[in-house]
């Protein structure tokens, strides 16, 4: 894809990390690895840089961004932390947990980051490259998933370039992401009530939430879409289907031959990317149990299978 920028591919070493931090400090867009998926980062306090994220992704302006921080102390400068939020952060940060919290009035954040909401979504990621870049930039980074809006999320640098080459300054290539699906999102209300907004890699999330009703403001029903019809709970493929297997059900590729849900989460988007690139016009996916990490995997699969608008 040709675009405004020549997108640099940076390596996961001190020179690559320093270059990523330089580009970001100057207001650029850099796709960075995290333990969940690759994120498209920009300085969260820089209005033009944040506007560039929305433009590069084609993301609707009402869908707010997650702000990534290097530490709990940096997060506390941006949001109010009820006691339960501090407990959840202590238990899961750094890691794949995003907390939606009341935004502090004096938080230095670009207005578009929170899309006008009185809350802000915060995460302290564990990936060493992401942590190193956050520390060198010295301030929070807004980073949604590094894909064009609505497409399958990226778990490799090649997935990022498949939709954003020429639209961003650089991608830092640290190989495949370990968790493979987006962070668990919990909202902690001012009275301490906890709501699950998006299931994710933290499978014990339901223990922490006071409601299991999944609401996902800004998350569209059609999402993670590979651009062709997807059939779920398939026990085998039709002639024109690319089959994604799981457990005892084989396929053109498999989420996990042994039925391991952590492996399935890690491989989910790579399998959907394979299916999208294959010559077959349709994709079929074997059933995945609705338990533990399977809840988050099925959430993503249902959105991938939602009919594409005519």
Q: Which residues sit at the interface with ligand AMP, rule CB under 6 A?
A: 63-64, 66, 100, 114, 117, 119-121, 144-145, 182, 185, 197, 216-219
At closest approach, how far in Å is the CB of 3 from ligand AMP? 20
* Nearer to ligand AMP among residue 118 and residue 279 (C-beta): 118
For residue 230, cis peptide bond before it (omega within 30 degrees of 0): no
List strand residue ranges (DSSP E) for 97-169, in order.
97-102, 119-123, 141-142
288 binds, options ligand AMP, Mg ion, none, Cβ within 5 to 8 A by partner type:
none
List strand residue ranges (DSSP E) for 170-308, in order.
170-173, 184-188, 194-198, 230-231, 241-245, 253-254, 282-285
Q: Let me know: does 219 contact 182? Beta carbons within 8 Å.
A: no
* Nearer to Mg ion among residue 145 and residue 256 (C-beta): 145
- Please tell me whether residue 145 binds Mg ion under the rule CB under 5 A: yes
Angle (CA) 199-202-204 rounded to 5° is 95
120 binds, options ligand AMP, Mg ion, none, Cβ within 5 to 8 A by partner type:
ligand AMP
H runs (alpha helix) in the chain? 14-25, 47-57, 72-76, 83-92, 128-137, 157-164, 205-208, 261-277, 293-305
Q: Let me know: does 240 contact 280? Beta carbons within 8 Å.
A: yes
Pairing of strands 30-32, 39-43: antiparallel
At closest approach, how far in Å is the CB of 153 from Mg ion? 6
216 binds, options ligand AMP, Mg ion, none, Cβ within 5 to 8 A by partner type:
ligand AMP
96 binds, options ligand AMP, Mg ion, none, Cβ within 5 to 8 A by partner type:
none
Residue nearest to ligand AMP (CB): 218
> Using CB under 5 A, which of the segments 1-9, 137-145, 169-177, 254-262 binds Mg ion?
137-145
At closest approach, how far in Å is the CB of 216 from ligand AMP? 5
Residue 106 class from Cβ within 10 Å (0-12 exposed, 13-18 middle, 19+ buried)?
exposed
169 binds, options ligand AMP, Mg ion, none, Cβ within 5 to 8 A by partner type:
none
At closest approach, how far in Å is the CB of 235 from Mg ion? 30
Q: Let me know: does 75 contact 199? Beta carbons within 8 Å.
A: no
Phi, psi of 68 (to 5 degrees): -100, 135
At closest approach, how far in Å is the CB of 64 from ligand AMP? 3
User: Using CA atoms, how far apart are residues 56 and 72, in angstroms rounded to an integer?
Assistant: 29
66 binds, options ligand AMP, Mg ion, none, Cβ within 5 to 8 A by partner type:
ligand AMP
* Nearer to ligand AMP among residue 153 and residue 254 (C-beta): 153
> Using CB under 5 A, which of the segments 14-22, 68-76, 121-129, 140-148 binds Mg ion?
140-148
Phi, psi of 230 (to 5 degrees): -125, 130
- Please tell me whether residue 163 binds Mg ion under the rule CB under 5 A: no
> Using CB under 5 A, which of the segments 17-25, 109-117, 144-152, 159-167 binds Mg ion?
144-152
- Please tell me whether residue 183 binds Mg ion under the rule CB under 5 A: no
Torsion of Cα atoms, 14 then 19 then 20 then 25, to 10°: 120
Q: 3-state DSSP call for residue 67?
A: strand
User: Using CA atoms, how far apart are residues 217 and 219, in angstroms rounded to an integer?
Assistant: 5
At closest approach, how far in Å is the CB of 192 from Mg ion? 28
217 binds, options Mg ion, ligand AMP, none, Cβ within 5 to 8 A by partner type:
ligand AMP
Residues near Mg ion, by CB under 5 A: 145
């Amino acid at each position: 894809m040709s675009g405004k920028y020549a997108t640099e591919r940076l390596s996961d070493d001190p020179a690559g990390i320093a270059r990523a931090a330089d580009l970001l400090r100057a207001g650029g867009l850099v796709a960075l690895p995290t333990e969940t998926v690759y994120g498209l980062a920009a300085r969260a306090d820089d209005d033009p840089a944040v506007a560039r994220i929305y433009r590069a992704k084609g993301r609707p302006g009402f869908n707010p961004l997650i702000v990534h921080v290097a530490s709990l102390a940096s997060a506390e400068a941006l949001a109010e932390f009820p006691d339960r939020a501090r407990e959840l952060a202590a238990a899961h940060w750094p890691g794949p947990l995003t907390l939606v919290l009341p935004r502090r009035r004096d938080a230095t954040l670009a207005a578009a980051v929170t899309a006008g909401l009185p809350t802000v979504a915060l995460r302290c990621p564990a990936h060493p490259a992401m942590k190193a870049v956050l520390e060198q930039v010295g301030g929070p980074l807004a980073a949604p998933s590094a894909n064009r809006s609505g497409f399958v999320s990226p778990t490799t640098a090649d997935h990022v370039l498949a939709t954003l080459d020429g639209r961003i300054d650089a991608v830092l290539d640290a190989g495949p992401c370990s968790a493979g699906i987006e962070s668990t999102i919990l909202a902690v209300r001012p009275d301490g009530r906890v709501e699950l907004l998006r299931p994710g890699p933290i499978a014990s999330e339901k223990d922490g939430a006071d409601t299991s009703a999944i609401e996902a403001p800004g998350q569209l029903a059609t999402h993670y879409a590979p651009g062709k019809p997807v059939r779920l709970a398939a026990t085998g493929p039709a002639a024109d289907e690319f089959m994604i297997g799981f457990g005892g059900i084989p396929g053109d590729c498999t989420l996990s031959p042994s039925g391991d849900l952590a492996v399935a989460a890690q491989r989910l988007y790579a399998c959907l990317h394979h299916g999208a690139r294959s010559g077959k016009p349709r994709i079929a996916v074997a059933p995945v149990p609705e338990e533990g990490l399977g809840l988050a995997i099925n959430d993503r699969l249902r959105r991938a299978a939602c009919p594409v608008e005519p």
